[in-house]
Amino acid sequence: MSYAYSISARTLSRGGIAVAVVAFLAVPFYGAHAQLGGLVKKAKDRVVEQQVANQVEKRVNSAASAPGAPPKFDDVTVELTNDRVSQVIRGLSAGRAVLDGANGSPSRATLIAQRDDAARQSADLSQKNAKAFEAYSEKRDASQRCRNDAIHFSREKRQQANDQRTKELQAKAMSDPAFREKAVAMAQKMAVAQQKGDTAEVHRLMIELNGGAPESDNVDSLAADKACGGALAQPAAMVQSQKLDAQANKLTEAIRQLEEQAAETEVKESKLTERQYQMARERIEAYLSAMKYNSQPRGFSAGELQALGARRADLEKVM
């Protein structure tokens, strides 16, 4: 700490004490013990925090003195000895065989070629029929807008008619005692039917009360069909393009499944646990990457570097 800083700190400290004292006097007496306890606790906390900070500092500095040291080997990160490198190579080779179609399914290369072919055909169709596709999209959008408007209009019209009918029935119930009695009787019957769970009877009674069958559920869609025409047929090329896209997606899924099978085989044949194998594989990738770019591989023990160096060519072949 510099002298200037020290003076300033002392000045601040005196000011701080003055503020604390006056604040202390300004608070009710019954809080004084708690306040004092708080100050002592804060001071203790500061000491603990400083101790922790010192420990962390020590830890951080020790890391700087040994950068790139090997990791702590454990159940997951196992040391890559000659035997383990051989195990990983065995696993990788078995996985590669699966990708090459050893289990009877088409190879990954075949699937990729089929997938790319389907995607290419689809793209060609889209390109050749771009104008027709665009025209269809425009027509479809216009038709959709028309249908939305027609459905909205039909719904509004029906709602208004229903409101009018309800008003008329209410007025009739007020002025026609016979109708009122009939309505009350039917309402009671409906309640009974509902309690029994007899939906057919409820439906029948409602029709009777309303004086006719309700409109069908698709009345709005029918109104839209009438106003705007039915659904537009897609151009044949578009249907074909969509089929090809679906085929390409299916093949992509098949490629992914094959890769998953290969990954499972790698683990199984390596005789390592899945976590051990994945970690070993990742560390080997890091090693090969460093070697490829002529940089020093970090995070490996001397024994590991020796074992990996001895099998580098084999690893590059199967990785």
Partner 1 sequence: MPVGAFPGAVRVAAIAFAAIAATPLRPAADPAPARAGLPQSSLAVWTGKTWREWWRSDEAPGRWRGPHNAVADAVRWRASADGVEWGELRLAGTGEARRLRAVVVRIDPRVVRLRLDTAFTAGGERAAWTVDDARPDAIMAVNVGQFVRTLPWGWVVLDGHQFLAPGSGPLATAVAVDSSGTVRWIGPDSLKDANVRRGVAAAFQSYPTLLTADGEIPAPLREPGRGIDVEHRDARLGLGALPDGRLLVVLTRFDALGESLGSIPFGPTIPEFAALMGALGAKQAVALDGGISGQLLIRDAEGAHTWRGLRKVPMALVVTRKQ
- In the set 14, 43, 44, 49, which binds partner 1 (CB under 8 A)? 49
- In the set 72, 178, 233, 313, which binds partner 1 (CB under 8 A)? 72
The answer to whether 125 contacts partner 1 (rule: CB under 8 A) is: no
The answer to whether 41 contacts partner 1 (rule: CB under 8 A) is: no
The answer to whether 147 contacts partner 1 (rule: CB under 8 A) is: no
User: 152 to 171, contacts with partner 1 by CB under 8 A?
Assistant: none
Q: What number of chain residues touch partner 1 (CB under 8 A)?
A: 52
Between residues 68 and 197, which has the closer beta carbon with respect to partner 1?
Answer: 68
**Gyration radius from the chain CA atoms:** 40
Taking residues 250 to 289 in sequence order and writing x for each that binds partner 1 by CB under 8 A, - otherwise, the string is: --xx-xx--xx-xx-----------x---x--xx-xx--x
CA–CA gap between residue 251 and residue 116 (Å, rounded): 9
CA–CA gap between residue 88 and residue 279 (Å, rounded): 11
- In the set 41, 128, 145, 298, which binds partner 1 (CB under 8 A)? 298
The answer to whether 305 contacts partner 1 (rule: CB under 8 A) is: no
Considering Cα of 123, then 124, then 125, then 126, what sign does the dihedral take? positive
Between residues 49 and 176, which has the closer beta carbon with respect to partner 1?
Answer: 49
The answer to whether 2 contacts partner 1 (rule: CB under 8 A) is: no
User: CB neighbours of 171 closer than 8 A, spacing ≥ 6?
Assistant: none
Three-state SS string across 116-167, please? HHHHHHHHHHHHHCHHHHHHHHHHHHHHHHHHHHHHHHHHHHHHHHHHHHHH
HSE of 112, CA atoms in CB hemisphere, 13 A: 9
CA–CA gap between residue 239 and residue 125 (Å, rounded): 10
The answer to whether 68 contacts partner 1 (rule: CB under 8 A) is: yes
What region, left, alpha or beta, does residue 216 occupy, with left being phi > 0 and alpha being psi -120 to 50 degrees? Answer: beta
User: CB neighbours of 77 closer than 8 A, spacing ≥ 6?
Assistant: 71, 276, 279, 283
The answer to whether 290 contacts partner 1 (rule: CB under 8 A) is: yes
- In the set 4, 67, 200, 211, which binds partner 1 (CB under 8 A)? 67
Between residues 65 and 216, which has the closer beta carbon with respect to partner 1?
Answer: 65
* Residue 86 Cα distances to 82, 272, 298, angstroms: 6, 11, 21
The answer to whether 28 contacts partner 1 (rule: CB under 8 A) is: no
Closest residue by Cα to residue 215 from 272, 285, 159: 159
Binding site for partner 1 (CB under 8 A): 19-20, 22-23, 25-27, 49-50, 52-53, 56-57, 59-60, 62-64, 66-68, 71-72, 74, 76-77, 99, 108-109, 112, 115-116, 245, 249, 252-253, 255-256, 259-260, 262-263, 275, 279, 282-283, 285-286, 289-290, 298-299
